[in-house]
Amino acid sequence: MSLAAINGHASIHSLPTEMLAIVFQEVVYEATLSNRYLSLFQIAGDLPPQFVLMAVCRDWKSICISFPALWTRIWIIFLPKRSTAIGTPVWDLFALACKNALDWGASLPLDLELDRWYFNEEQVFSTRPDTTFEVFDIMTLSFKILRLAIDHSLLLQVRGDGRRHEQQRMIFRLVEASS
C-alpha cells in the first residue's frame, strides 16, 4: 500500500479544518512555553512551530496560513544563532519568513518583540563587548524588517472612529553587553 493511500485513511484527515486549527494553536502554545509564548524567528535558528506544521502537507500549510491567531505572538532576534555569511540566501529567506508571518496575522492584535534590532549586518560579525553600537541605517536587514513590522502593526494605526488600537504592544529590547 502506498504512503498516499495510508495517509488518506489517517483519522486526522477526517477532522474538520476548525478542529485542526485549534489543535495547531495548542501545538504552537506548547512549543513556545519557554519563549514567553512567543514564536521565535532567528536567522540560522530553529523553525518556528507554525513553519514545522506547515511542512507536513499542503492542507496543513493552508490551515496555518489562513488561521491568523497562529501569527499574533512573534519574537524576532536579528543576531544569527550561528555564524552566517552576509548576503547568503538565508538572510533573504529570514526576511521573507518575517514578512509572511506578519501578513498572515492579518488584522488581529500583534504582540511583537524585536531583539537586537539595533544591529546592522556588519556589526553582527564584528561586535565586541566594549563596542559602542551605531543605530542601523535604512539598508540593513533589521531596519527593513522593523519598517515592515511597523507598517503591519495596528499599534500605530488609527481606527475608523479616530481612536488608536489599544490591544497591541511592540517591544524593543536592548541587550546590554556585559563587561
In a domain, 17, yes or no: no
Of 62, 173, 73, 159, the C-alpha closest to 117 is 173
Global pTM? 0.65
In a domain, 90, yes or no: yes
Q: Are 80 and 44 in contact (CB under 8 A)?
A: yes
**For the chain, how many structural domains are there in total?**
1
pLDDT, tens only, 87-122: 778 888 888 898 899 889 877 887 888 776 555 545
In a domain, 21, yes or no: no
How high is the pLDDT of residue 83? 78
The boundaries of the domain holding residue 80 are 31-119+146-179
Dist. CA 174–CA 156, nearest whole Å = 21
In a domain, 133, yes or no: no
In a domain, 9, yes or no: no
In a domain, 14, yes or no: no
DSSP secondary structure code for residue 136 in this structure: P
